[in-house]
Amino acid sequence: MMNSTWLLTWIIFLPLIGMGVLLVVPKKIIRETALTFTLATFILSLLMIPHFQGSSLQISGKDYQDGFKLVNVVPWIHSSGFNIDYRVGVDGIGFPLVLLTTLICFLSCLASWNISKGIRGYFILFLLLETGMIGVFTALDFFLFYVFWELTLLPMYFLIGIWGGPRKEYAAIKFFLYTLLGSVLMLIAMLWLYFASNYNGEHTFSFIHLSMPGVLPSYASHQTMWIVCFALLYVGFAVKIPVFPFHTWLPDAHVEAPTPISMILAGLLLKMGGYGLLRVSYPVLPHAGAAHVVAWVLGILGVINIIYGALCAMAQTDFKKLVAYSSISHMGFVLLGIGLLTEAGFQGAMFQMIAHGITSAAMFFLVGVIYDRVHHRDITRLGGLAGQMPIYTGLSIVGFFAGMGLPGLAGFIGEIYVLLGSWQAVVLGPMGARVLTVISASGMILTAGYILWAIQRVYLGPPKPEYANTPDITLREICVMAPMAVLSIALGVLPWQTVFTFANGTLVHVLKLLPSG
């Protein structure tokens, strides 16, 4: 049995090795090679599950190191005052996200079969992106976290800009600019926190050490530093989540990107922002996170995301853009859940990240299926597809209802927990929290509004003659969609066994770091 210490490093770097292999394999087997590597990474990540079995409320025990399992530390830079290690580990919030990443990347790889030009470059960038994402979700050292965070920029820029739609260049440069702006602000916070930290006489980048009391100067004496760093980090993560008003890159990037890349963008890259808040902002700067101003701002912005995203989605005639705005709306729940600092809210936000990862990837894939056949995404021209493509319609109903948050499917649990959490929130006072909850709950009505209306316009209604000969969903596409449909149902029916049992311990631990009252 392989020494479990190196498991995570293997998971992170196997796609990178795949990238190297892809440089030399003959053209005929490029797709199969890439698929093999993504499948291998997924299977390796499944090996993490036994470590977390029955881990419910534990964050300590024989395998845990400060709340993390499978920790791998390799000293990296220890010269002239720098203390940077290659430090990776997973805990309750990282583990489900790593599993989600490997799964969605495998499914996207399968969905990329139709890419015809420059496939070698495409799959090389794809695997590089996978390494970057897994690295973000496992890095425990702030410098390493930053390196992996930026590592995702390069492949995304080219994946959108070369294989994208008509306005691909604009979308690619906008995405790059926004994310780089966020990263640059994060770099300032990184410098500030590093040089202010003091762990046994040295500065430290490790998240574990930075969240220990006493390592950073206290909130009372360094209030500016805490609030400003929190704000800088927040903007860096807000660009990714994305939060109004830093969300304008998302509709362009999602619409112009090819289908598999939209799946990864919506399913995984957005979660990096939410993960960043839970991993970096709140554990390292808890007092700033618990400040009234901050909670109000995040709560209100979360609500704006939900309502504004839903209203924009309702106005769209481009099917893909509708799904893109629905992503903004759903990620608003994540922000609301985290910002209001309740146990239910945190659990809901975590669940919503996993569920939305699956459902948004599913929705983008479904839109991609129809786009591949009819070469347009105009809802006003689509209609009556249920007659021509019954299996596809069946899978779409499952996918879209899951996105809508139908009870029994994945989307519902996250939203209801977030709303429960925001109802109980004490940090905003009794009335403030309840007002926000009521407004957000009405967002669920808007969500049902645009999704049901879209389903009605696209799938239901009289069949249209121009779609009389569209082929139904192929076996490969069913293989991509079916796991996501099954998971949507599984997460909806068994939320505890699938997500909460793993995440609960860590989330409670993060919440304990926050000052009460």
Partner 1 sequence: MIEVPKIYELYQIWPVMILIVTIALILGSSLSVERKMWKYFLTAIAAVGLSFAICTAGRLMPVALAIKLSRPQELLFGKSIIFDQLFLFMVIFLCVFLFGVIILSAVLWSRSSWEWPVFLCSLVGSLIGMIFLCSTRHLLFFAIAFELASMPSYVLVGFRRFNTKSAEGSAKYVIFGAVCSAIMLYGISLLYGLSGSFDFSTISFALAAGGVGVTKIVALVCLLVGIAFKISLVPMHFWCPDAFEAAGADVAGWLSVASKSAALIALARFVQILHLSGTAEFNHSLMLTFTVLAILTMTVANLSAYWQTSVKRLMAYSSIAHAGYMVCGIAVLGDVMGVAAIVSYVVVYMLMNLGAFAVVGLVERETGSDDLKSFAGLGSRNPYLSALMIIFLFSLVGIPPFAGFAVKWIMLSVLWQHNLSILVVAILANTLFSMFYYMKIARAIYFEDATLPAVKFPVLASVVLTICAAGLIVLFIGWGAMNTYSNNLITAVLG
Report the interface residues with partner 1, using CB under 8 A: 76-80, 82, 84, 118, 121, 146-147, 150-151, 153-154, 157-158, 161-162, 168-169, 172-173, 176-177, 180-181, 184, 187-188, 191-192, 194-195
Return the bridge partners of 69, or none: 90
Q: Min. distance of Cβ 151 from partner 1 in angstroms?
A: 6
Q: Please say which residue, 162 or 452, places its beta carbon nearer to partner 1.
A: 162
Q: How far apart are CB 184 and partner 1 at their closest, in Å?
A: 4
In angstroms, give the least distance from the CB of 256 to partner 1: 12
- Least separation in angstroms between CB 471 and partner 1: 31
Token duo for residue 116: 């015809």
Q: Are 173 and 247 in contact (CB under 8 A)?
A: no
Evaluated on CA atoms 83, 84, 87, 91, the torsion sign reads positive
Q: Output 176 or 417, the one with its CB closest to partner 1.
A: 176
How far apart (Å, rounded) are the C-alpha atoms in residues 489 and 494?
Answer: 8
Provide the minimum distance between the beta carbon of 335 and partner 1 in the complex, in angstroms, as a whole number. Answer: 25
Q: Taking the CA atoms of 63, 64, 68 and 74 in sequence, report the sign of the dihedral they define.
A: negative
**SS3 category, 25:** coil
Nearer to partner 1, 18 or 309 (CB): 18
Give the integer Cα–Cα distance in Å for 93 and 74.
Answer: 22
* 514: Cα separation from own chain's centroid: 24
* Residue 479 C-beta: closest distance to partner 1, Å: 31
Integer Cα distance of 156 and 138 in angstroms: 20
CA 503 – CA 353 distance, rounded (Å): 12
Closer CB to partner 1, 16 or 284, in the complex: 16
Q: How many CB atoms lie within 10 A of CB 16?
A: 18
78 vs 376 by CB, closer to partner 1: 78
d(CA 331, CA 273): 10
What tokens appear for 60 in the block?
Answer: 């300590």
Residues in the chain, how many?
517
Nearest distance from C-beta of residue 140 to partner 1, angstroms: 17
Q: For residues 299 and 430, what is the distance between their CA atoms, to the nearest angstrom?
A: 14
CA separation for the pair 247, 238 (Å, rounded): 8
SS3 205: coil
> Nearer Cβ to partner 1, position 242 or 348?
242
- In the complex with partner 1, which residue's Cβ is closer, 7 or 172? 172
Q: How far is the CB of 150 from partner 1 (least distance, A)?
A: 5
Query: 205 or 500, CB closer to partner 1?
Result: 205
Tokens at 508, concatenated: 């409670």
Q: How far is the CB of 121 from partner 1 (least distance, A)?
A: 7
Q: Output 76 or 113, the one with its CB closest to partner 1.
A: 76
Q: How far is the CB of 249 from partner 1 (least distance, A)?
A: 14
CA distance 215 to 199: 5
Q: Please calculate the CA angle 318-332-309 and round it to the nearest 5 degrees.
A: 30
| Cα–Cα distance measured from residue 403 to residue 330, given in angstroms and rounded to the nearest whole number | 9
Q: Interior CA angle at 150 toward 157 and 179, to 5°? A: 60
423 close to 433: Cβ distance less than 8 angstroms: yes
SS3 318: strand
For residues 150 and 179, give the distance between their C-alpha atoms in angstroms, rounded to a whole number.
9
Q: Which is nearer to partner 1, 80 or 380 (CB)?
A: 80
Q: Which is nearer to partner 1, 84 or 336 (CB)?
A: 84
**Shortest Å distance, C-beta 277 to partner 1:** 22
User: Of 187, 204, 188, which Cα lies nearest the Cα of 196?
Assistant: 204
